[in-house]
Structure 1
Amino acid sequence: MIVLFDMFGVIARDQSPEVMAEMSADQDFWDAYWAHRPAYDRGDVTADEYWARVGHPPLVEQDVASWSRVDYEMVALLHELHNAGQRIALLSNIPEDHARNFERAHAWLDLFEVRAFSCRIGHAKPDRAAFEWCRDRLDDDDILFVDDRLENVQAAQLVGMRGHHFTGIDGLRALLGADRPV
């Protein structure tokens, strides 16, 4: 079995409310931010094009900072799984600026057999093609996909993967039989 992890909401924390508040308190900004995000995540548009679509001067540094918090208890679990010989991979909806920041800052990304960043594979969850891309690269049909968003878990199941709706590390540890740190 291969465990295919989502990043944000599982290994990395969700967007920082404090940084979000610094970026904007305007609901129209956030509506545009999310409406145009899929194209940015897939790498269809550059950061400058994305921010022009949002209708705001680029906030790349603040945006990257808003998504940069990591759950180090989850990182420890990744190390445990890797050291025990468990195959692990990553599928994340992430724009190129964010991917480069994570690669510079976090050596633990090297634990993943496959790193499927949406900006580099041209597909974003819950698009079926994102899961198929991972399955093809991993060359295995026995994949457990772990994500905090139920719609992504359900999309993975539609392509034949098993799914785990992540709500915390304890439930994942129990599922993996890793309920005690190694």
Structure 2
Amino acid sequence: MADTILFDLFGVIARPQSSAGMARLVETAGAAAPAFWNAYWDRRPPYDRGRLTGPGFWSRVAETLGTRFDDRRIAELVAADAASWSEVDDTMVSLVGELAASGRRVALLSNIPEDLAVHYEAHHPWFRHFEVCAFSCRIGHVKPSAGAYLWCRDALGVAADRILFVDDRAENVRAAEAAGMGGHLFTGSARLRAALN
């Protein structure tokens, strides 16, 4: 049995980007939704890898949209982006706490930019349960690249087969399994709890 549980954040413990938050982002940007989201996701990978700051990311989004965001607009977009990703599943937060209290090691692996990582660290005290927080913006690897899982293995100091990786995306789970970890495709807290017993 795996004694270390490595969690994805969004779609597992944190909820996906909220529709209200997404609408606020589009409104703040003053752009048409389809074009905005194409620019947002096209420009996102370097931000998640820590190669762009928030202002750098939003300046590139603006460039793609054929416009320019001033410093005030960029600050508003950074805040709105963090807020759009900030809702969590309280049932999963409780499960993380239970696992830590029972002696199971828990860790986190998330594709996340620095601004959002800082937001979570500042506003979610349950992050203290994680022995390792492997944020893509800080480790230089993004899922599903093998380097992300190997970085976590080395940081945790255990053999890969002692780690169970939990993610809501099948390609990320398969990549963890290819790196020697156990994998659990997350579809809900009840099924995960049963798998952990």
Which whole-Å CA distance do the structure 2 matches of 1:53 and 1:155 have between them?
30
Q: In the alignment, is residue 138 of structure 1 matched against residue 156 of structure 2?
A: yes
2:180 maps to 1:173: no
Match of 1:119 in 2: 137
Give the TM-score normalised by structure 2. Answer: 0.87
Matched, 1:31 2:49: no
C-alpha distance after superposition, 1:113-156 (max 9, x if no partner): 11111111111111111111001111112110000111111111
Q: Map Cα deviations across residues 37-91 of structure 1 (whole Å, 9 max, x no partner).
A: 1110110111111111112632101100000001111111011101100011100
| Secondary structure of 1:145 counterpart | strand
Structure with bigger helix share is 2
Secondary structure at the residue paired with 2:184? strand
Task: List runs of 5+ in structure 2 lacking aligned partners.
Answer: 27-31, 63-67
Identity %: 56
Question: 4+ runs of 1 displaced by more than 3 Å?
Answer: none
Does 1:105 pair with 2:123?
yes
Unaligned runs of 5+ in 1: 178-182
RMSD: 1.0
1:88-125 Cα deviation digits (max 9, x unpaired):
11001111111111111111101011111111111111
| Separation in 1, partners of 2:150, 2:38 | 30
Q: Tell me, in whole angstroms, the C-alpha distance in 2 between the residues paired with 1:39 and 1:123.
A: 11
| Alignment-mate amino acid for residue 147 of structure 1 | D
Give runs of aligned pairs for residues 29-178 of structure 1, distance below 5 A. Answer: 29-55=36-62, 57=69, 58=74, 59-141=77-159, 142-177=162-197
TM-score (normalizing by structure 1): 0.94
- 1:15 maps to a residue whose letter is Q
